[in-house]
Homo-oligomer: A and B are copies of this chain.
Amino acid sequence: MGIAVIYGSSRKNGNSDQLANLLVEEFEADKIHLSDYKIEPIRDYRHSEKGPYPDDDYHQVLERVLAQDVLVFTTPIYWYGASGLTKTFIDRWSQSLRENREEFLAKFATKTAWVIGIGADEPQIKGLSLVQQFQHIFDFTGTKFAGYVLGKGNEPGDILQDAGALAAVEDIRSKWRL
C-alpha cells in the first residue's frame, strides 16, 4: 500500500499539514506539497480545438499521485472549501480527461482516497460541503472514498489539541496497520 499525501496549504507545517503528517508518520508516504509546484488554472478546450496546455508542473505532480494506491487530500478549509491550490490541481484533471480519458479513469478507479480539511469556523458543520464535493468527485473518477477528517484549527498547533480529529486519525492508522 503506497500512500501519497497531497498538501493544499500555502504554508508548510500549518494545521492541515500537521494532522496529515501525524497520520502518516509510521508509514512511508510520498509527500506532495502543491505549493512547491507551478500549476496554472485549467484551460478549457472541451468545446474547441485542443490548444496548448500550460507548460508547468501538472503532469509531474499527477504522475506522483497516480503512482500510489492511497491518496490523502489534505487542505486548509479556506472560505468553506478546498484551498485554491487544491482546487486548481483538481481542475486540471479535465486536461487529463481530454488527453487520455480511459487511462486516467482506470487509474483513479483503483485508488482509495481520504480527505482532511482543517478550518477555524465550525469545520464539522461548515466543512460538509467540502466533503460532499469530494464525494461527487470520487463518484466520477470511480475512486473509493474511504473517509474524511474535519478538524478545528486556527492558531498553529491547534489541531493537535482537537481530540476528535486525533481519534479519527488514529482510527485510520489502525485500519492501515491491518
Contact = CB atoms under 8 A, between A and B. Distances in A.
Interface of A: 9-11, 14, 35, 41-44, 46-48, 76, 78-85, 87-88, 90-91, 93-94, 121, 124-126, 128-133, 135-137, 140, 145, 147-148, 154-156, 163-164, 167-168, 170-171, 174-175
A84 B91 contact: yes
Main secondary structure of the interface of A (DSSP, over half): helix
B145 A125 contact: yes
Contacts of A87: 78-79, 81-84, 87-88
A128 B126 contact: no
A42 B126 contact: no
A9 B78 CA distance: 20
